[in-house]
């Protein structure tokens, strides 16, 4: 498994480098073909390479991605290494170790009849070209297992917040800021009013919500103006929204579209909206109970669960109504960070857990 992991990690796959993603798909396809005994379909959508294996009529979907956030060339500063039981390298935790564990888990099964494996190439940038493939597969299946990395301590991810992205565009009127500022409509000032209004919006939606599972409405990238002596005629505010329930996500959307301007003469344009629906715990409850029972029977200890703010493609499958269990991949930490790593000793137990879980659901 470690040799297979090295093979995938040293083949870099930065999401925006489509040639690198295609080379990575070759490496993943070769590994999957060797371990599963069948070649995948190679699905190229708008230049992005995805892979799909289908065995009979699909009932269980195994979902992962082979693209990473690490720019091509990151191996020079973050080389592959294994030391004291810890493996390191760009994208190793998110989520190339999950792919290796998935292939080895499936190789343990006496039959793959009823299994669909989908490995996408654009998860880290929003899954725009793979969404239709994900939804098509999930609609056919009774369960989805997502090979994203585990939460702290190896916990499975039983809930994820949904994501929405907005851009507020404020249209004002330019004027000379020294000679006649009163003739302008300051888009930057209006943007400031809107940012403060959004703080109040989050507080209102979170009334009574647990502190660690709240809706967040966060202004991120803000820009305005064209020159230091000119009243800004336009301002933009990017908003990142994370909502734990579909109801909260829909409520934020309605509030965003109901925003009103404060500065006379300013005009507001709201772009964007919900992207990934929340993966709510009701979608994962039965599958997690199965996984926990298997772990207990096999003497693997008590499995933990976690609700996390980050989203994955499991949000899409859960949002469609397909029962979904996430975080079945690597145990380690540091996703997207300099200390990204995987605990090698956990790879075999996690593969065996996945194999037993898939077999249990198929049976």
Active site residues: 67, 123
- Quote the CA–CA distance of 215 and 32 in Å, as a whole number: 39
Helix (H, G, I), strand (E, B) or coil at 302: coil
Which CA distances in Å does 305 have to 22, 299, 302, 308?
Answer: 34, 18, 10, 10
3-state helix, strand and coil shares in percent for the chain, rounded to the nearest 5: 40, 25, 35
Closest CA relative to residue 157, chosen from 315, 337, 339, 358:
315
**Residue 109 CB contacts under 8 Å (≥ 6 apart), including other chains:** 115, 355, 358, 359
Closest CA to 363 of 142, 156, 158: 142
Identify the DSSP state of 313.
T
Q: Residue 88 in contact with residue 70, Cβ under 8 Å?
A: no
Write the DSSP assignment of 332-359 as a string of letters.
EE-TTSTT-EEEGGGHHHHHHHHHHHHH
Which residues lie across from 65 on neighbouring strands?
A: 120
The H or E element containing residue 363 is none
- Give one word for 173, left, alpha or beta, with left for phi > 0 and alpha for psi -120 to 50: beta
C-alpha torsion 248→253→258→263, nearest 10: 110
Distance from the Cα of residue 184 to its chain's centroid: 42
Residues 6+ apart with CB under 8 A from 225: 187, 188, 232, 235
């Amino acid at each position: 498994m470690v040799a297979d992991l090295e093979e995938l990690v040293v083949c870099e796959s930065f999401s925006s480098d489509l040639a690198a993603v295609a080379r990575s798909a070759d490496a993943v396809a070769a590994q999957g073909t060797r371990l599963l005994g069948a070649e995948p379909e190679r699905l190229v959508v708008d230049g992005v390479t995805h892979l799909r294996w289908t065995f009979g009529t699909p009932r269980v979907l195994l979902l992962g991605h082979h693209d990473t956030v690490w720019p091509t060339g990151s191996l020079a500063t973050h080389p592959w290494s294994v030391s004291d039981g810890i493996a390191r390298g760009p994208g190793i935790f998110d989520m190339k170790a999950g792919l290796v564990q998935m292939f080895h888990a499936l190789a343990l099964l006496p039959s793959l009849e009823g299994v669909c494996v989908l490995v996408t190439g654009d998860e880290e940038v929003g899954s725009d070209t793979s969404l239709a493939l994900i939804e098509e597969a999930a609609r056919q299946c009774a369960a989805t297992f997502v090979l994203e990395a585990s939460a702290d301590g190896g916990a499975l991810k039983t809930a994820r917040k949904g994501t929405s992205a907005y851009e507020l565009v404020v249209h004002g009127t330019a004027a000379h800021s020294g000679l006649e500022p009163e003739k302008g409509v300051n888009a930057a000032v209006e943007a400031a009013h809107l940012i403060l209004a959004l703080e109040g919006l989050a507080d209102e939606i979170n009334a009574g919500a647990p502190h660690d599972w709240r809706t967040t409405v966060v202004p991120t990238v803000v820009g305005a103006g064209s020159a230091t002596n000119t009243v800004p005629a336009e301002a933009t505010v990017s908003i990142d929204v994370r909502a734990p329930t579909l109801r909260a996500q829909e409520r934020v959307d309605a509030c965003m579209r109901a925003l009103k301007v404060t500065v006379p003469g300013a005009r507001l344009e709201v772009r964007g909206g919900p992207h990934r629906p929340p993966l709510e715990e009701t979608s994962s409850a039965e599958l997690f109970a199965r996984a926990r029972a298997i772990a207990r029977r096999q003497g693997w200890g008590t499995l933990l669960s976690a609700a996390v703010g980050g989203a994955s493609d499991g949000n899409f499958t859960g949002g469609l109504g397909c029962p979904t269990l996430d975080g079945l991949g690597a145990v380690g930490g540091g996703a997207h960070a300099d200390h990204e790593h995987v605990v090698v000793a956990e790879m075999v137990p996690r593969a065996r857990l996945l194999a037993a879980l898939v077999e249990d659901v198929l049976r």
